[in-house]
Amino acid sequence: MMSHELLLRIRPFFEDRMAPAGYVLVDMRFYKRQGGAAVLEVLADRDEGGITLDECSRLNRELGDVLEKEGFLSQAYVLDVSSPGLDRSLTTAGDFRRARGRTVRFFLKDLVEGKFEHCGTVEDISDDTVTVRVTDKKGERTIAISLGNINKAKQVVGPANKQDR
C-alpha cells in the first residue's frame, strides 16, 4: 500500500484515540530508513500546546496498540511519537491556536502596516486571521495577519532579542 493511502487510513483511528485525552495529531509520515526499516513518525501536541516526553512515550504505546489491533502494517516497523518541536514552522490555524500566548516571528508575503516582518504575541486566531500583539516604535497594539499572507512563522525560543521595529 502506498504510504499516503496508509496514512489516510490510520489518521482517523489515531485522532479518535488522542482527542479525548486532549492531544492533537499534528502530522504523520511513513518512510523507510536507509537500512530498509519502515518508520511511522507521528507528531503530537496538546490542544493548548506543550507535550512532555512521558506523554509521547504513553502515546507511543497506545498508538502502537491501535496499529496492532487494526492490523494496518503487515511489515516490521518502528513507531516514533514525538513533539513537533519549538522550531517547527507554524502554518495552520491549529498551529497558531497552540501558540496562543507565545511570541512568534512572522515573515509576510505582503506588507502589513508597512512591514514584511512582525514579532509579537499570538492573541487569537480565526479560520483565516491571526491576531498579534506587537510593541514597536508606534507603541503597543494589535494587528491582524491573514494566514494566506504568511510566508513563514516561527515561535521565538528564548528572549525575543530583536524587537519588532
- The DSSP H or E segment spanning 84 is none
Residue 160 lies in a domain: no
Residue 78 lies in a domain: yes
Residue 165 lies in a domain: no
Question: Half-sphere exposure of 13 toward its Cβ, with a 13 Å CA cutoff?
Answer: 17
Better-scored residue on pLDDT, 38 or 164: 38
The answer to which of 17-21, 88-92, 98-102 has the lowest mean pLDDT is 88-92
* Together in a domain, 67 and 105: no
Domain, as residue range, for 117: 93-155
Q: What is the mean pLDDT of the chain?
A: 88
pTM of the model: 0.67
The strand ranges marked E within the chain are: 23-32, 38-46, 77-82, 103-112, 115-125, 129-136, 139-146, 150-155
**Last residue within a domain, chosen from 19, 47, 82:** 82
- The number of folded domains in the chain is 2
Residue 3's pLDDT band, with cuts at 50, 70 and 90, is confident
Report residue 14 as a C-alpha cell. Answer: 489515531
Q: Assign residue 137 the CATH number of its domain.
A: 2.30.30.180
Better-scored residue on pLDDT, 116 or 93: 116
Question: If you average pLDDT over residues 25-37, what whole number do you get?
Answer: 86
Question: If you average pLDDT over residues 136-152, what whole number do you get?
Answer: 93
CB-count burial class (<10 Å; 0-12, 13-18, 19+) for 164: buried
Question: If you average pLDDT over residues 84-97, what whole number do you get?
Answer: 84
What are the phi and psi torsion angles at 91 (to 5°)? -130, -35
Report residue 133 as a C-alpha cell. Answer: 500583539
What is the structure's pLDDT at 73?
84
Q: Tell me how long the chain is.
A: 165
Q: Assign residue 25 the CATH number of its domain.
A: 3.30.300.70
* Together in a domain, 14 and 57: yes
The answer to which of 104-108, 115-119, 135-139, 144-148 has the lowest mean pLDDT is 135-139
Residue 7 lies in a domain: yes
- C-alpha 16: how far from chain center: 18
